[in-house]
Amino acid sequence: MDIDPALVADVRWSFYNEAMKARPSTIDIALVAPASLKLVVYPDSILKKIAADVRQFDDWLVAVTERMKDVMVEHKGVGLAAPQVGLGLRIFVAAESAKREDAKVYINPVLTDERGSEEGEEGCLSLPTIRIKVPRFTHVRVEALDERGRPFSENLTDYTARIIQHENDHLDGILLLDRMSPVAKLANRRKVRELEERVKGPRK
């Protein structure tokens, strides 16, 4: 199966417009204690927002990335994005091995040189019970900053490239639900409704 990069860009742009209407306040973010961060699950509205660039590199930020590694490992994930712990910032951590010592931090990442396409099964810590097949690029280049603000770049392929594309989607408010084919949407309708019904009462 092949994927048209122009089509992907179009999809991202439509989510961008929607998400810009509800951009998070950075003042609120700075008050969050890193140790209090925990996994946020669908349908929490933070998961649908565009995350903001990280502008300040300090001890708070390092503590946030350390906490994100903890949460990722605790939930047996191979990647975790900041919106998944309720922070609207462009940060994700990833480790193909799911081991804490292998977890790498990506801040303000930019993906380029996207090539090739392959369908593969994905799950998401914020969408428990749901697993779907998603087409992803088999090769991407990522340019990002580490937790101290030092730039680095990597050329990634296959599973690692898939993880990075999934996590990067989170920074643009894009979930697996948005990547579902009409058939998958239908097949997972009940599971999605169950997740939505877990939330009692309105949330911000």
Contacts to Zn ion by CB under 5 A: 124
Q: Amino acid identity of 28? A: D
Give 25: exposed, middle or buried? Use CB within 10 Å, 0-12, 13-18, 19+: exposed
| 3 vs 41 by CB, closer to Zn ion | 41
Task: Provide the sign of the torsion angle of the four alpha carbons 103, 84, 194, 162, taken in this order.
Answer: negative
CB of 79 to Zn ion, least distance (A): 7
CB of 59 to Zn ion, least distance (A): 27
Name the residue number minimizing CB distance to Zn ion.
124
CA dihedral 106→111→115→116, nearest 10 degrees, is 50
| 184 vs 200 by CB, closer to Zn ion | 184
| 58 vs 119 by CB, closer to Zn ion | 119
| 38 vs 150 by CB, closer to Zn ion | 38
CB of 170 to Zn ion, least distance (A): 6
64, 65, 48, 52: which is closest to 24 by C-alpha? 52
CB of 94 to Zn ion, least distance (A): 11
167 is catalytic: yes
| 72 vs 124 by CB, closer to Zn ion | 124
Active-site residue among 114, 167, 196, 197? 167
CB of 68 to Zn ion, least distance (A): 13
> What is the set of active-site residues?
167
